Amino acid sequence: HQTNAYVFLFNNVRGDPMSKEKMVNYNDLKTIIILNCLKDSMLEKLSSITNVEEYRSGYYIFNEGEEAKNLYALIEGKVRLEIDAEYSRRIFINDITPSMIFGFSALVETENHNYTTYAKATTDVKLYKWAAIDLETLFNQDFEMGFLFMKVIAKIIKTRPQIRNIEFLNI
């Protein structure tokens, strides 16, 4: 379903996803790099809480400072992560390409549990979406899965400051 409702926040185009689907085959999840550490039985559990959404180019999937409720993985397209800088400028942090995951703030306790970047669809995108509350419930039921998942997220987050430092040096 498509909506004509748009919300404008700080010059960001924001809208509901173009379409939603429920129920993903666990084999489809194997295309996401971070999920390679999980067993098929774990992927099957994860598939039961996985949604697929599509956004048009220019949409902000989430905004810096917004409450972090969802974790995402890109299936198709490209998403740009940005942060606010001085003088109403945005600084490019990283491009998310297919098979990458973003929106870690939904699972990692950050100040006020908010997203720390903007996530902008720079092309039409298709992505997997997981509600943080559903992931936490799943990880409480399967500690091994939660440990493996969070171990990989920790490795990815560890590189984030290095990426930011490189971008600040390029200013």
pLDDT at 17 over 60: no
Return the pLDDT at 86: 75
Most distant CA atoms of the chain, gap in Å: 49
Query: Does the pLDDT of residue 155 top 90, yes or no?
Result: no
Vertex 155: Cα angle to 93 and 61 (nearest 5):
40
Q: Which of 96-100, 124-128, 156-160 has the lowest mean pLDDT?
A: 156-160
In this predicted structure, the answer to whether residue 171 has a pLDDT above a threshold of 80 is: no
Provide CB contacts within 8 A for 154, sequence distance 6+.
none
Is the pLDDT reported for residue 45 higher than 80?
yes
Residue 146 has pLDDT above 50, yes or no: yes
How confident is the model at residue 51, as a pLDDT?
Answer: 96
Contact between 40 and 140 (Cβ < 8 Å): no
Alpha-carbon span 116 to 65, nearest angstrom: 6
For the chain, what percent of residues have pLDDT higher than 70?
A: 78
**pLDDT tens-digit map of 52-93:** 999 999 999 999 999 999 999 999 999 999 988 877 788 888
Q: What is the pTM of this model?
A: 0.81
pLDDT tens per residue across span 27-42: 999 999 989 999 999 9
Q: What is the mean pLDDT of residues 104-116?
A: 82
The reported pLDDT for the residue numbered 24 is: 87
Tokens for 24?
Answer: 């993903």
